[in-house]
Structure 1
Amino acid sequence: MSVTLMLSLILLALMIIIGGMKGIGAFVSLWINFAIMVVMIMLINFQFNAMAVLLVGGAFLLTVTILSAGADERTTTIALMASFIVMLALVILILPAEHLAMAQGFAEENSEELEGLSLGININFVTLGIVAALLATLGAIAEAAIAIAAGIGELLADQPKMSLASLAQSGQHLGQQIIGTAVNTVLFGFMADFLSLAIWFGKLHYSLGEIVNAKLFTSSMLSLLYAILGVIVILPITMAIFLWQQRRQLQTDMGTNHDYDGK
């Protein structure tokens, strides 16, 4: 039995014990997302339009991730809408940023491993950098969106007569706590991924200027910034969608009551 299979079985057992049916759903969604990413890589490798593959595949990844949370229909809908909006906003941001940074492709530190291999893969490395940068942000965006939407929904369920202003204030406070945790999670993930690279830079006595201008550092830092920006922006967008839906529901209820009183 391989280590990967053994750890997967341990993960499945723990998710069933702790999460029950939702744990099984989350475990299945993990492998569905993995399959989606494999299909995306294959399509890009077969010369399909990378941006189209990115948008369609990213939408599927967000949908599977949010549906696996097992939230109610309203929470799921709001989280999906907010996540799609943030994904599109990040695409608009990443496109010029990746072109200006020019941190795509292999760096000097990869030269030894690539020696003797052909780099003529007939795929634009800038496009690959954009795809990789956006995919690195989707998980954090989806988790933050579902957490904020579910939290605000619980607030409204506990106090159904809460005014929109009070709901917005309470949701803002709750969202700030969720955002703080999500940002720390993204930051710790970056530090863990950057640890070996930092030791590499230290052993080779890189100066600060060389580190800042290194492709590996720049690409990693850009991915971190994209993820943090996505997590921060998801709060006001989720709040705006939730309040908009709540206002529409209140207007509908008032119209229904008015019609009933008239009759």
Structure 2
Amino acid sequence: MSVTLMLSLILLALMIIIGGMKGIGAFVSLWINFAIMVVMIMLINFQFNALAVLLVGGTFLLTVTILSADADERTTTIALMASFIVMFALVILILPAEHLAMAQGFAEENSEELEGLSLGININFVTLGIVAALLATLGAIAEAAIAIAAGIGELLADQPNMSLASLARSGQHLGQQIIGTAVNTVLFGFMADFLSLAIWFGKLHYSLGEIVNAKLFTSSMLSLLYAILGVIVILPITMAIFLWQQRRQLQTDMGTNHDYDGK
């Protein structure tokens, strides 16, 4: 039995014990997302338009991730809308940022592993950098969106007569706590991923300027900043969509009650 299979079985067992049916759904969604990413890689390798593959694949990834949370219809809809808006906004940001940073492709530190291999793979590395940068943000965005939408929904369920202003203040406070945790999660993931590279830079006696200008460091730092920015922006967007839907529902209810009183 391979280590990957053994760890997968342990993960499945723990998710079933702790999460029950939701745990099984989350485990299945994990492998569905993995399959989607494999298909995306294959399509890009077959010279399909990478940005189109990214947008379609990213939409599927966000949908599967949010649906796996098994939240109510309203929470799921709001989380999906907010996630899609943030994803498209990040694409608009990442496109010029990656072109300006020029951190795509292989770095000098990869030369030993690539020795003897051909780099003529006929794929635009700038586009690949954009794809990788956005994919690195989607998980954090989806989790933050569903957590914020579900939390605000619980607040409204506990106090159905809460005014929109009070709901906005309470949701803002709740969202800030969720965002703080999500940002720390993203940061710790970056630190764990960068640890071996940092030790390598230290062993090679890189100066601070060389580290900052290294492709590996720049690409990792940009991915971190994109993810943190996406997590931060998801809060006001989710809040705005939730309040907009709540205002529409109140107006609809008032109109229905008015028609009923008239009869």
Shift in Å, 1:15: 0.4
Shift in Å, 1:228: 0.1
Shift in Å, 1:79: 0.1
DSSP 3-state at the match of 2:238? helix
Once residues 171 and 239 of structure 1 are traced to their aligned partners in structure 2, the CA distance between those partners, rounded to angstroms, is 7
DSSP 3-state at the match of 2:119? coil
Q: Cα deviations across residues 106-165 of structure 1 (Å, max 9, x unaligned)? A: 000000111110000000000000000000000000000000000000000000000000
Q: Cα deviations across residues 78-109 of structure 1 (Å, max 9, x unaligned)? A: 00000000000000000000000000000000
Shift in Å, 1:222: 0.0
DSSP 3-state at the match of 2:34? helix
Shift in Å, 1:50: 0.3
Shift in Å, 1:40: 0.1
Query: Counterpart of 1:141?
Result: 141
Shift in Å, 1:27: 0.1
Shift in Å, 1:51: 0.3
Query: Counterpart of 2:228?
Result: 228
DSSP 3-state at the match of 2:47? coil
Once residues 33 and 261 of structure 2 are traced to their aligned partners in structure 1, the CA distance between those partners, rounded to angstroms, is 51
Once residues 249 and 238 of structure 1 are traced to their aligned partners in structure 2, the CA distance between those partners, rounded to angstroms, is 16
Shift in Å, 1:6: 0.6
Once residues 227 and 54 of structure 1 are traced to their aligned partners in structure 2, the CA distance between those partners, rounded to angstroms, is 16
Once residues 175 and 104 of structure 1 are traced to their aligned partners in structure 2, the CA distance between those partners, rounded to angstroms, is 34
Shift in Å, 1:231: 0.1
Shift in Å, 1:177: 0.1
Query: Counterpart of 1:27?
Result: 27
Shift in Å, 1:192: 0.1
Structure 1 residue runs of 5 or longer lacking an equivalent are: none
- Give the TM-score normalised by structure 1: 1.00
Aligned-residue RMSD, C-alpha: 0.2
Q: Cα deviations across residues 197-256 of structure 1 (Å, max 9, x unaligned)? A: 000100000000000000000000000000000000000000000000000000000000
Shift in Å, 1:29: 0.1
Q: Cα deviations across residues 41-100 of structure 1 (Å, max 9, x unaligned)? A: 000000000000000000000000000000000000000000000000000000000000
Query: Counterpart of 1:115?
Result: 115
Q: Cα deviations across residues 153-193 of structure 1 (Å, max 9, x unaligned)? A: 00000000000000000000000000000000000000000
Once residues 250 and 15 of structure 1 are traced to their aligned partners in structure 2, the CA distance between those partners, rounded to angstroms, is 39
Once residues 157 and 58 of structure 1 are traced to their aligned partners in structure 2, the CA distance between those partners, rounded to angstroms, is 31
Once residues 6 and 109 of structure 1 are traced to their aligned partners in structure 2, the CA distance between those partners, rounded to angstroms, is 33
Query: Counterpart of 2:56?
Result: 56
Once residues 136 and 177 of structure 2 are traced to their aligned partners in structure 1, the CA distance between those partners, rounded to angstroms, is 22
Once residues 224 and 155 of structure 1 are traced to their aligned partners in structure 2, the CA distance between those partners, rounded to angstroms, is 31
Once residues 174 and 147 of structure 1 are traced to their aligned partners in structure 2, the CA distance between those partners, rounded to angstroms, is 10
Query: Counterpart of 2:209?
Result: 209
DSSP 3-state at the match of 1:234? helix
DSSP 3-state at the match of 1:116? coil
DSSP 3-state at the match of 2:70? coil
DSSP 3-state at the match of 1:121? coil
Percent identity reads 98
DSSP 3-state at the match of 1:47? coil
Alignment of 1:188-203 (within 5 A): 188-203=188-203
Structure 2 residue runs of 5 or longer lacking an equivalent are: none
Shift in Å, 1:16: 0.4
Query: Counterpart of 2:254?
Result: 254
Q: Cα deviations across residues 11-55 of structure 1 (Å, max 9, x unaligned)? A: 001100100000000000000000000000000000000000000
